[in-house]
C-alpha cells in the first residue's frame, strides 16, 4: 500500500479542473506531505508532469489502473 497524507478524487473532470483542484488541495497541506490524486482525464499524465515541473512539487509516482490514472505528489515548501 502506498502511503499518502491526503487523497483527491478528480475522476470525471477534464483539464484544467484536475490541476486546479490539486493546486487548491496542496495549499492546505504542509511541506513534505504527500497527496494522492485519482483522475480519468488521459491528458492528466502530461498535465501533472508539467505542473510539477513548473511549481517544484515532486511527482513521486504515477500509474494507471484500468481507465484511472493515479499520481503521488509531494508538496515542496
pLDDT greater at residue 77 or residue 35: 35
Residue from 13, 15, 29, 45 carrying the catalytic annotation? 15
Could you say which architecture CATH assigns to the domain 6-74?
A: 2-Layer Sandwich (3.30)
Domain residue extents for the chain: 6-74
Sign of the dihedral through C-alpha 29, 35, 41, 47: positive
Per the document, the length of the chain is: 77
Question: Global pTM?
Answer: 0.94
Residue range 67-76: average pLDDT? 97
Compute how many other C-beta atoms are within 10 angstroms of the C-beta atom of residue 32: 11
Residue range 39-57: average pLDDT? 96
Q: How many whole angstroms separate alpha carbon 50 and alpha carbon 52? A: 5
15 is catalytic: yes
- Phi first, then psi, for residue 37 (nearest 5°) are -120, 135
Query: Above 90 in pLDDT, residue 13?
Result: yes
Residue range 10-25: average pLDDT? 97
List the grid coordinates of 29: 497541506
Query: Above 80 in pLDDT, residue 2?
Result: no
Whole-number pLDDT of residue 68: 97
Whole-number pLDDT of residue 77: 85
Cβ atoms of 35 and 54 within 8 Å: the answer is no
Amino acid at each position: 500500500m502506498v502511503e499518502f497524507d491526503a487523497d483527491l478524487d478528480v475522476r470525471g473532470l477534464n483539464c484544467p479542473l484536475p490541476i486546479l483542484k490539486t493546486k487548491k488541495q496542496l495549499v492546505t497541506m504542509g511541506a513534505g506531505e504527500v497527496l494522492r490524486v485519482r483522475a480519468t482525464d488521459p491528458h492528466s499524465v502530461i498535465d501533472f508532469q508539467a505542473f510539477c515541473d513548473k511549481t517544484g512539487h515532486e511527482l513521486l509516482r504515477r500509474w494507471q489502473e484500468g481507465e484511472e490514472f493515479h499520481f503521488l505528489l509531494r508538496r515542496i515548501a
